[in-house]
Amino acid sequence: MAATNDNGGDPQPIGVFDSGIGGLTVVRAIRTLLPNESIFYIGDTARVPYGSKSPATVERYSLEIAAMLEAEPCKAIVVACNTASSVALDVLRNTTSLPVVGVINPGARAATAATRNGHIGVIGTRATIKSGAYERAIRALRPHVQVTSRACPLLVPLIEEGWLESGVTDRVISEYVRPLLDANADTLVLGCTHYPLLRPAIQRVVGDSVTLVDSAENCALAVRYLLQAKRLEAPPDSKHELRVALTDLPDQFLRVAEHALQLDVGNPAICEIPHAPVAHA
């Protein structure tokens, strides 16, 4: 149950999770748009990346992390992971008592508004692309839009290693997006919350004529709408905090958070995952 104070609103934090550092792009966007809100972020760094896992495994991971956020307690859960949003959003909404926001639908809405020639490209993890979640969301909004998708499994490991300005990374990006450019896509959805960390490099490769759609920025807009609709906005006098917990501490996490995102995450807590019980037939 949401907690309110004497000034109205809900001072409890927004819970945000991702497989690793990528979800901090959503955290940064939320803090920019909603500077009065506190955020509790969990990065499942012990099990990154989610994009190479099976849908059943991603669903289990997501339920485990969501249970941690609900126990915090948080007032809402933001699934700052395209892979988890594409395969686990429905089960999360059916399991938790908290409102849940994903990144797929906000990104799809922004892409359909941005395209000029009706051809949208989507890049993401293997699991996100295989799920077809973006295609379904985009065509639900504009049925006749053409969508060309491409899995980019090497990008998340490069980002987690902090290779944001490497020539190797530029060449990998070019290899992945070239077919989308050849197909004349004029809008490119960054269908993984890690990818905004490579936005300058991706823009260099695709050129200024291609519009990049950042799922992190559009997810933050959806969070604002949800808090307003549910009357869960923080009171004006709330002490806004950012707390970060990780399931393991990777070498590059703090450096990338500070230098690429200008986020001071302090000393992240290392948390133990309360494994969900295995269902038996």
Question: How is residue 16 written in tokens?
Answer: 């945000």
Greatest CA span in the chain, whole angstroms?
58
Which H/E stretch holds residue 224? helix 215-230
State the residue for tokens 């969900």: 276
Which of 74, 81, 152, 219 is flagged as catalytic?
81
Q: What is the DSSP string of 8-63?
A: SS--SPEEEEESSSTTHHHHHHHHHH-TT--EEEEE-TTS--STTS-HHHHHHHHH
For the question of residue 81 being annotated catalytic, the response is yes
Which H/E stretch holds residue 188? strand 187-191
19/159 Cα distance (integer angstroms): 12
For the question of residue 152 being annotated catalytic, the response is no
The dihedral through the CA atoms of 154, 274, 69, 249 has a sign that is: negative
Q: What are phi and psi of 99, to 5 degrees?
A: -65, 145
Position 56, amino acid? A
121/149 Cα distance (integer angstroms): 6
Residue 237, burial from CB neighbour count under 10 angstroms (0-12, 13-18, 19+)? exposed
198 contacts 226 by C-beta, under 8 angstroms: no
Which residues are CB-neighbours of 247 under 8 A, at least 6 positions away? 42, 43, 44, 45, 46, 47, 270, 271, 272, 273
Active-site residues, by number, are 81, 192
